[in-house]
C-alpha cells in the first residue's frame, strides 16, 4: 500500500455498535488454521476500491473490548463481499459502502498483532488518522 500499488480500507463501524467500538457484533471463530468471520460493517471508506481491509471482529464476547481482534482481509477471500454503496449528500470524492462477511475465511497469520488487541489497534489507528 505504501508503494501505491494497493488500496486499503479500515472496517470498524457496524450498524448496531453505535459510537462505542466495544459494542461490535461481527464474530471471528478460530477453526484450525483459519478464522471464520461473520457480520456486516458499514460506512467503510474505499470499500469499493480497496484490495486489503483491516477488519475488527469479536473473538471472545465475554471479554468485551479485550475480546476484539484485528484481521487483514483481502477482497478475494472466500465469503467476503462489498455490499450497498452509500448515497452521500457530499464527499463524493471517496466512496463508502458496507462489507459483508459470510463465513469469510481468513488465515491465522492474518491476525494483526495478537488476538484480543483489536480494540487497542483500532484506537491507535483512529488517533493517528492512519499515519505511521
Contacts of the segment 81-89: beta carbons below 8 A, 24+ positions apart = 82/47, 82/48, 83/40, 85/47, 85/48, 86/42, 86/43
Mean pLDDT of the chain: 87
Q: Percent of the chain scored above 70 by pLDDT?
A: 92
Would you state the pLDDT for residue 132? 44
Q: Over 80: is that where the pLDDT of 18 sits?
A: no
With 0.85 as the threshold, say if the pTM is over it: yes
101-126: per-residue pLDDT in tens? 999 999 999 999 889 888 887 877 77
Domains of the chain: 8-128 (2.40.110.10)
Amino acid at each position: 500500500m505504501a508503494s501505491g500499488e494497493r488500496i486499503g480500507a479500515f472496517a470498524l463501524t457496524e450498524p448496531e455498535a453505535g459510537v462505542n467500538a466495544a459494542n461490535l457484533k461481527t464474530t471471528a471463530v478460530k477453526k484450525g488454521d483459519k478464522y471464520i468471520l461473520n457480520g456486516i460493517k458499514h460506512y467503510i471508506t474505499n470499500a469499493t476500491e480497496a484490495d486489503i481491509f483491516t477488519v475488527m471482529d469479536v473473538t471472545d464476547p465475554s471479554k468485551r473490548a479485550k475480546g476484539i481482534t484485528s484481521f487483514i482481509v483481502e477482497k478475494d477471500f472466500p465469503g467476503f463481499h462489498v455490499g450497498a454503496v452509500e448515497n452521500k449528500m457530499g464527499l463524493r470524492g471517496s466512496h463508502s459502502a458496507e462489507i459483508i462477511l459470510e463465513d469469510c475465511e481468513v488465515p491465522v497469520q492474518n491476525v494483526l498483532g495478537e488476538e484480543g488487541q483489536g480494540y487497542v489497534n483500532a484506537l491507535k489507528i483512529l488517533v493517528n488518522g492512519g499515519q505511521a
